Amino acid sequence: MSVVYTKKIYFSGGDFHELQEVFAHVPGVVSTCTGYINGERDTAYSEIAAGEVKAYMGVEVTYNPKKMDISQLLDLLFGVVNPYVTDGQGKARGEMYRAGVFYASAEDEPQVQLHLNFIANRGKAPVVGNAGLTVNDPNSNPKLARKLCAIAAPLENFQPAEAEHQDYLARHPEAETYIDFDKLRAYVKF
């Protein structure tokens, strides 16, 4: 029997049912689990939704790093989750739905931070010349500048969500979603 080396990374951003469906079919992903990330205490969906307990609703992604790189997972996350929006995506609004990446291993922190720094500076024009002038800088107008709202933090704890929240969209394909899964499948070959 062969043993497969796996790693875990935790993502939040909008509806955790949708995030689970996004990552569940990716080659190299071994398993996914919806749950509560960095919660104040053991909790339930209703307590977080009501704002009684602070935690991020998200998904645990277990993957084989020989088949899937963490940067590919981050690309996919930020392909479906807008990192420039505070507190949620679509109809899922509130601090518990904020876009985030939570790493269980300190060795993942540099790559996660590098990826978020790239996203934060996307669209910024390079400095040109000794005068420090920028050409066509989309961020020169503060009203038009984008601010990264996604967070990166070490994982403190993860509590799996209740059974009714596991594989929800697989069991309820008729459910309305913010993510257009047909379009996603057309662009990303699972």
CATH number, residue 139: 3.30.1060.10
CA–CA dist 64, 44 (Å, integer) = 30
Distance CA 1, CA 3 (A): 7
CB atoms closer than 10 angstroms to residue 13: 29
Q: Is 133 a residue whose pLDDT tops 80?
A: no
- In the prediction, which pLDDT does 188 show? 73
State the pLDDT at residue 99: 96
- Is 2 domain-assigned? no
> Per the domain annotation, does 137 fall within a domain?
yes
Residue 93 in any domain: the answer is: yes
The DSSP symbol for 28 reads: T
Taking only the tens place, the pLDDT of each residue in 60-102 is 999 999 999 999 999 999 999 999 988 888 889 999 999 999 9
Residue 185 has a pLDDT of 80
Number of domains the chain is built from:
1
In a domain, 1, yes or no: no
Q: Would 75 be classed as within a structural domain? A: yes
Q: Does 37 fall in a domain?
A: yes
Burial 135-174 (b: 16+ CB within 10 A, else e): eebeeeeeeeebeebbebeebeebbebeeebbbbbeeeee
Q: For residue 46, give the H/E element and its range.
A: helix 45-49
Domain that holds residue 45: 7-187
